[in-house]
Structure 1
Amino acid sequence: MKNTSPLSQIYLDANATTPVLPQAAAAAVNSMKVLFGNPSSSHITGLKAKDLMEQTRANARKVIGADTGNVIFTSGATEGIQTAIISALVEAKKSLDSDKQYSLLYGATEHKAVPESLKHWNQILGINADIKAIPVDGMGNLDKQFIEQEAPSALMICTMAVNNETGVYQDLLALEQVIRHANKHIFWMVDCVQALGKTPLNLAETTIDYAPFSGHKLYAPKGIGFVYIRQSAPFTPIIAGGGQESGLRSGTENLPGMAAINVIFEMLLNEQDSVFASLDTLRGYQTQLVNTLNTAFPEVVYNHSVENSVPTTINFAISGFSSKEIMDLFDAANIRVSSGSACSSKVTRSFVLDAMGLPAWQSESAIRLSFGPAITQTEVDQACQRITSAAKALTHSCMILDNGEIDEKQPLNGLVQLRFGSNCTWVYADQQSKQAFIIDPLPELNDRLDTLLQCQQLELVAVIDTHGHADHQSGRTFLADKHLPTQQTDALGWPQACLQHSQLQYIEIGHQWLVKVATPGHTDDSMTLLLCSPFKDKNDIKQQCQFAFCGDTVLMGSLGRTNFDSSSATDMFSSLKLIHSLIGSDTLICASHDYNNEFTTHLSAECQRNPLLRNTLNGQLDVYEFEKLKADLDSHLCDQTGSEIMCGALTDSQLAGQAIVEYNHQSLNYALANDEVTLIDIREPHEYALQHTEDSSENVPLTRLVQFIQQQQQQKHRKWVLVCRSGSRSFVAAQAMHRLGFDNVAHLKGGYALSS
């Protein structure tokens, strides 16, 4: 299997790291081949190496405006931060007053390396100062009044020159006036990593004590950086040994790294011989990209202002789309961007944007597009063309509208699962009748749901909540007002003009019935909606039922909580037995929440890992025992709530992952050639359309995985191999299928990302 996308990579994640410039790489190689001597050696080879090191140091001084003070080479910014913090705190500790409480200040939008280092060394050195975050306003500017109030009792203050997520820069001169007016003796560190080459620096003319820098953010190799230390600032070496760097930082010097970063310095100092664009040119590139985003995505919102940010960073969000969806879309177009900071993993929202007070959806949907000063007009033009193409691909799968031109849209038929965070919305469309219903609509998805209905030319039959939600608002009113303005319903959206059979109410969608079943317990208004083929009586439902929308009554890995004011464990006991009698053990359950990326479940799978449910359905528990055990289960919620109201208690033992067979590209190619393996590409249609492959894979978007699972209930022993962009989605999808009895499901580790 080979990825045959003809598109070259457009790299727009320079704030995370940059490629090494060919000139810098050549200098590093030359230093390893020719100038390979140890700068501490006194022979000619060593002297030449030392001369290169001192040339690099001299150029570093010129670039940052530091004709005085020390410039010490480091392994990168993190080491520079440690150097600054240790030096400041060791000195501060000498004059502490035991009767006074001190503080350490840092900007709320600082890189995590700063507050984590402050916490670490504050504890190790036994200073025990209060560590306080300096608030920022909606523009990302530090609160100067807070600094005025807190700086007099602070030992150290840490700020940034340029923020790594938003590109917002601080007015260092204005900050200096505030800081030094409040406390002339406070030690001041400024993280200058993102400032190098993007904004002028003249550090010697300031009272900044420490300023760390990193080479790999500006086309030098990883592993080389430097730290500026003001002439009068205290210094404590953090690495002792052979006395290199005049005893300031021991260890054999990284000469190849210095040779490489020296090339960068020379380009910054000699504009005529540089591949770096001017700041005005970079601002023009930023404007071109912003204009393209505005045209391609009319719902785009920017998370910072151009007025106080460097020209090489654009941080934006697109209403109705998560950051991962946009990253996957751009990746399919071979554009590399990131969601917030690339220095941390498994981050679902941006703490930087949270600190700026931006709405939660912007923080959760943030995309950082960043480029370096060596970017070219050709690359910017290509990026704009691909952004436009990516947006058009979204129209094919009806995620955005394209002037009402819907003739070539991919038709939707069956069930779609849309998510925002852990919340689930379910859409069912019947292509033949052009009808649809929506269950548990989320307000964050209103625009996407509205677009989907319009794009697919679907008639909305009903929009229903399975219960009154305690953890979020419903989007039902918006959709009902727009698409069903005259429909009379109850409080949850169930139509009054419904039909009745076997004492059950139902509505028709195409040739299917959506049946309402009252199942109180989680809340007193909870109901279960069953999508079935027409049935003769209640005993016939389980044979005809395809999906059971249980809301929060049955969750993947748990049962809905019953400790709300409107809850009743007694009622839930009866409701669980009723649901089981109607749908049996293998009907797919579509819950309102998916806390662990499991997509769907059925009672058979839940009973295997949930003793409370199993013993309830097999009759081993009476209602009183159920109530007691359910209260114990709900007691686990106190440790899980955080900022989100959890609707069911989950335990690690219940959610143990399954061992999934993993293919690499070599073993998968062998299996495709010699075995009966079916390849399933689970990327979304717009990704699939943007990046074709030579294989004969079937496209089953992850949003339609539940529909696929239902259709393949009789094919559980078939050999499936799931594949996506990076292997992360295919892995969780394979786990979900395996848990539901698909015993030959596997996935491609590393996905298409490792295929080229």
Structure 2
Amino acid sequence: MEVYFDNSATTRSLDSVAKLVLKMMTEEYGNPSARHIMGVKAEQAVKQAAQDIAATLKVKDKEILFTSGGSESNNMALIGTALANKRGGNHIIASSIEHPSVYNTLSYLEELGFRVTYLKVDEKGHVDMDMLKNSICPETILVSIMYVNNEIGAAEPVEEIGKLIHTINPNIIFHVDGIQAYGKYIIRPKKQGIQLLSASAHKFHGPKGVGFLYIDEKVKIKPFIYGGGQQKNLRSGTENVPGIAGMGLAAKEAYTNFEEKRDHLCQLKDYMLERIKEIEGTYANSYPGLESAPQVVSISFEGVRSEVLLHALEDRGIYVSSGSACSSNHPDVSGTLQGIGVKRSLLDATLRFSFGRFNTKGEIDYCIDVLKELLPVLRRYQRG
């Protein structure tokens, strides 16, 4: 039996998406900047994708910028906005458990002279709202908070954060890394006070190598890719038409029968959290209900290293993650797990199980049975 529980790293593309991508690569493969009919068809595909994505967010299609994926979207949001608004101040606020594509970008901005405040989180991974309130100062120009944490699934109260920020200073720009949230939550940037939102197609059953950044039309932002002036001079370069078309379809599919798809993920998460209690020495770092995303379950296993358990599960056809697949193949000790207060002995003993629309409860039953078989052996071996 093969069980893929690493959907937060990447998802299997929908068959309909793969079919469309192939069509755009082999039949309607024109350059969208070309003036002949092949170019027009490609341009229409890009426009359709923008319209379909914008419809899921209730925003204007001109506010959707296509990128190469989540990391570029986050880089564009942070660097582009900081540089365009530096006359207003040099202070940025973020949570202490941001994804590396945010955290490392902020480190780069610090090298350029920007000052960054990192907010503490509680044991469930939620930002300290009092610290956020007290950190905002006249020099604050940007706040960046992830919607859903990629390691433990903590869901931040983004609407509450947006309201707090703009009550204190309506000129502060609020960026949300929505890469693990898009397709799992109903997101309404205008209502939630979000002015920049990052997303990546391969997290919601679309193709790899393509993403988008929602940019409120009132936000000032500078490009960092220059060339032929595509996408209103914000991101030059020929658009990835097959990827963009595939992402547009995946986005539309994600929000068709949305509640049914979300309920399926919630049921899987709750079932996993309940069944894992049957195994001694296991500790959940994710929570049922709305405090945690429906697709992510983080579990610490006492007495066994995560990498050892990961490969033991792999040998039985079960694929999981020992951290963020986006950081590296050999990630350092998780700052997220440290931030929520996980015991030192469990920092290198934690796995992430993340679900997608193709997973079943039967796969969870198989996973639990395998864990019950493996853990006693691995724990004895580790102690020896």
TM-score normalised by structure 1 residue count: 0.48
Given candidates 9, 13, 35, the residue that maps to 1:16 is 9
Which residue of 179, 184, 187 corresponds with 2:170?
184
Q: How far apart, in 2, do the equivalents of 1:336 and 1:277 lie?
A: 25
Aligned match for 1:80, one of 68, 73, 80: 73
Task: Tell me the distance in 1 between the aligned counterparts of 2:327 and 2:378.
Answer: 33
| Higher alpha-carbon Rg | 1
Measured after TM superposition, the shift of residue 393 of structure 1 is 4.1
The one-letter amino acid paired with 1:388 is D
Cα deviation, residue 68, structure 1? 6.9
Tell me, yes or no, if structure 1 residue 257 matches structure 2 residue 250. Answer: no
Counterpart position of 1:207 = 193
Q: Deviations over 1:382-430 (max 9, x none)?
A: 34224303422444x3847xxxxxxxxxxxxxxx7x4xxxxxx6x5xxx
Deviations along 1:589-613, one digit per CA (max 9) or x if unpaired, are xxxxxxxxxxxxxxxxxxxxxxxxx
1:131 equivalent in structure 2: 116
Which residue number corresponds to residue 160 of structure 1? 146
How far, CA to CA, are the matches of 1:59 and 1:221 in structure 2? Answer: 16
Task: Please name the residue that 1:389 is paired with.
Answer: 370
Query: Shift of the alpha carbon at 1:31?
Result: 0.5
Cα distance in structure 2, aligned partners of 1:71 and 1:20: 22
Residue pair 1:323, 1:364 contacting (<8 A) in 2 also: yes
The equivalent position to 1:329 in structure 2, one of 312, 328, 344, is 312
Deviations 1:555-608 (A, max 9, x none): xxxxxxxxxxxxxxxxxxxxxxxxxxxxxxxxxxxxxxxxxxxxxxxxxxxxxx
CA offsets 1:97-132 (integer angstroms, 9 cap, x no match) = xxxxx4321111110111211221343xx4x23222
- 1:165–1:393 CA distance, 2 compared to 1 (3 A): closer
Aligned: 1:351 with 2:335: yes
User: Does residue 1:218 correspond to 2:218, yes or no?
Assistant: no
> Structure 1 residues 69 and 204 mapped into 2: Cα distance closer, same or farther (>3 Å)?
farther
What secondary structure, in the 3-state scheme, does the structure 2 residue paired with 1:389 have? helix
Distance 2:100 2:146 in 1: 12
1:561 corresponds in structure 2 to none
SS of residue paired to 1:94: helix
Matching residue within 179, 200, 206 for 1:193: 179
Does the residue aligned with 1:280 lie in a helix, a strand or coil? Answer: helix
Q: Does the 8 A contact of 1:329 with 1:390 survive in 2?
A: no
Q: Classify 1:394/1:299 alpha carbon distance in 2 versus 1 (closer, same or farther; 3 Å).
A: closer
Question: SS of 1:228's equivalent?
Answer: strand
Out of 284, 290, 301, the position equivalent to 2:273 is: 290
Which of the residues 67, 81, 96 maps onto 1:108? 96
CA contact (8 A) 1:207 1:230 kept: no
* Structure 2 stretches lacking a partner, 5+ long: none
CA–CA distance in 2 between the matches of 1:227 and 1:252? Answer: 17
Pick from 256, 276, 284 the counterpart of residue 302 of structure 1: 284
The whole-number CA distance in structure 2 between the counterparts of 1:393 and 1:315 is 18
Q: Give aligned pairs, total.
A: 381
Question: Which residue is 1:143 aligned to?
Answer: 128
Residues 567-716 of structure 1: pairs in structure 2 closer than 5 A:
none
CA contact (8 A) 1:209 1:230 kept: yes
- The equivalent of 2:107 in structure 1 is 119
Q: Which amino acid aligns with 2:156?
A: Q
Separation in structure 2 between the aligned mates of residue 312 and residue 292 of structure 1, nearest angstrom: 16
Are the aligned partners of 2:153 and 2:293 in contact in 1 as well (CA < 8 Å)? yes
Post-superposition Cα deviations, 1:637-661, rounded to whole Å, max 9, x if no partner, equal xxxxxxxxxxxxxxxxxxxxxxxxx
Shift of 1:240: 1.4
In 2 relative to 1, CA 69–41 (structure 1 residues): closer, same or farther, beyond 3 Å?
closer
The amino acid that maps onto 1:233 is V
When you count helix as a share of all residues, which structure comes out higher?
Answer: 2
The corresponding residue for 1:573 is: none
2:299 matched residue in structure 1: 316
Q: Does structure 1 retain, via aligned residues, the 8 Å contact 2:79–2:105?
A: no
Unpaired segments of 5 or more residues in structure 1? 1-6, 97-101, 401-415, 419-424, 428-756
Q: Are the counterparts in 1 of residues 149 and 180 from structure 2 also a CA contact under 8 Å?
A: yes
Alignment partner, residue 239 of structure 1: 225
Residue aligned with 2:118, SS: strand
Partner of residue 91, structure 1: 84
RMSD: 2.0
**How does 1:711-726 map onto structure 2 within 5 Å?**
none
SS of the residue corresponding to residue 247 of structure 1 reads coil
- Are 1:348 and 1:364, in contact at CA under 8 Å, matched by a contact in 2? no
Question: Are 1:63 and 1:268, in contact at CA under 8 Å, matched by a contact in 2?
Answer: no
User: More relative contact order in 1 or in 2 (CA 8 Å, sep 6+)?
Assistant: 2
1:227 alignment partner in structure 2: 213
Percent identity for Structure 1 against Structure 2:
27
Contact 1:167 1:313 in 2 (8 A): yes
| Distance in 2, Cα, partners of 1:161 & 1:218 | 15
Instruction: Note closer, same or farther for the CA distance 1:70–1:399 as it changes in structure 2 (3 Å cut).
Output: same
Give 1:216 deviation, angstroms. Answer: 1.3
Give the direction of change, closer, same or farther, for the CA distance of 1:389–1:147 in structure 2 (3 Å limit): closer
Pairing 1:366–2:347 present: no
Specify the SS of the correspondent of 1:364: coil
Report matched runs for 1:722-741 at 5 Å.
none
Q: State the one-letter code of the partner of 2:304.
A: F
* One-letter identity of the residue aligned with 1:353: L
Query: Using the alignment, how far apart are the partners of 2:21 and 2:378 within structure 1?
Result: 50
Distance (whole Å) between structure 2 residues aligned to residue 18 and residue 288 of structure 1: 21
Specify the alignment match of 1:28 in structure 2.
21
Q: Which residue identity is paired with 1:382?
A: E
Name the CA distance, whole Å, in 1 between partners of 2:320 and 2:359: 17
Normalised TM-score (structure 2)? 0.93
Q: Residue 252 of structure 2 aligns with which residue?
A: 266
Within 1, Cα distance between the matches of 2:189 and 2:358? 27
